Amino acid sequence: MKCLIYSFLGFLIFQACSTANPAANKSETDITSLEWRLVSINSENGLLTTDKAKNPSTLKLSGDGTVHGQGGCNNFNGVAKISKNNIKFGNIAITNKACLDMTIESAYMKILSEVDSYSIESGDLKLKKGNTVLATFSTFR
């Protein structure tokens, strides 16, 4: 009887130790639960880096297939089809405010139409076309 009780207690301890934090078990490729801040973008003008302090460019993907964010000046929204590490943006609508420097925002909106995949590398979101990284995002901290 003691052996049975000890076995049962051992099983309970094993189960308690193996049940980790659900967030820690979340797939590394689940990008829909975070808000992302644009760090850099590869454009036809070369690598552009963003000023995180003023008007950050953002990206928020929702589990329902919608996307919204900030281009640096204007807000945008649309749809995002995500399957494994493939992603395709569509029906992007953007507000039409005029700002002094639209370089980053223009490049950002252009790459959204070109992106076909993504990866998570060292906690950063990389939007890609084929194997070429078009934009890098970090999470808000």
Domain range summary for the chain, segments of one domain joined by +: 28-139
Residues 27-74 pLDDT 10s: 445 799 889 999 999 988 788 888 765 778 999 999 899 999 999 999
135, 127 contact by CB (below 8 A): yes
Higher pLDDT, 74 or 23: 74
pLDDT of residue 52: 63
Look at the domain 28-139 and name its fold: Lipocalin (2.40.128)
| Angstrom distance (rounded) from CA 118 to CA 82 | 9
> 93 burial class (0-12, 13-18, 19+ CB within 10 angstroms)?
exposed
102, 88 contact by CB (below 8 A): no
Assign residue 120 a region (left: φ > 0; alpha: ψ between -120 and 50; beta: otherwise).
beta
20 to 15, 16, 24, 25: CA distances (angstroms)? 10, 8, 7, 7
Residues 117-133 pLDDT 10s: 999 999 999 999 999 99
> Which backbone phi and psi does 71 adopt, to 5 degrees?
-85, -10
